[in-house]
């Protein structure tokens, strides 16, 4: 389980599927940035004046080609003094926001499966041949069926 978790973290944090054109890059950045005056909308979707100003700023900075996407988002965050990320970053500590709940769920399910298997083994390991014979005799007396007869089983 730990190997799978580490593998998923490694793939998720090193994956780079950046946009190809400047327009795609502008769209990708504005989809990740929240509108500072709207409730729950991205700059990409919003038509508020603040969102328009941010889109223009992003377009200027992308056209200049001097900053990475992360640096552009950082400069916008400094301008508005607010938490503007709609989606946590896929690197460092922020990636744990995405991966940790899934890893905990997988480990919990695996732990329960192992516990149930252990309990089943312990319960069946304690039964002897005499115990099975007693159960078969009681079933035969109760139902009136011979439990050793293959047609009735």
Residue 42 bridge partners (DSSP): 34
- Residue 34 is encoded by which pair of tokens? 């929240």
Average pLDDT value over all residues in the chain: 80
* pLDDT: which is higher, 147 or 96: 96
For residue range 55-112, what is the model confidence (pLDDT) as tens digits?
999 999 999 988 888 888 888 888 776 577 776 666 667 677 778 888 899 999 999 9
Stated pTM of the model: 0.48
Q: Which residue has the tokens 């990740």?
A: 32
In this prediction, residue 35 carries a pLDDT of 85
How deeply is 76 buried, as exposed, middle or buried, from its count of CB atoms within 10 A (0-12, 13-18, 19+)? buried
Per the CB < 8 A criterion, the answer to whether 26 and 58 are in contact is yes
Residue ranges of domains in the chain, CATH in brackets: 16-80 (1.10.8), 92-143 (no CATH)
In this prediction, residue 120 carries a pLDDT of 80
Q: How far apart are CA 25 and CA 65, in angstroms?
A: 11
């Amino acid at each position: 389980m730990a190997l799978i978790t580490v593998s998923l973290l490694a793939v998720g944090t090193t994956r780079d599927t950046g946009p190809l054109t400047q327009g795609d890059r502008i769209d990708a950045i504005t989809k990740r940035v929240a509108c500072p005056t709207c409730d729950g909308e991205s700059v990409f979707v919003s038509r508020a004046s603040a969102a328009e100003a941010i889109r223009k700023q992003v377009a200027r900075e992308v056209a200049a080609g001097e900053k990475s996407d992360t640096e552009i988002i950082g400069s916008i965050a400094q301008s508005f003094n607010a938490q503007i990320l709609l989606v946590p970053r896929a690197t460092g500590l922020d990636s744990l926001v995405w991966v940790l709940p899934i890893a905990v769920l997988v480990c919990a399910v695996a732990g329960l499966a192992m516990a149930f298997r252990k309990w089943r083994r312990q319960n069946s390991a304690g039964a002897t041949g005499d115990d099975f014979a007693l159960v078969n005799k009681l079933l035969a007396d109760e139902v009136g069926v011979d439990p050793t007869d293959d047609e009735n089983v």
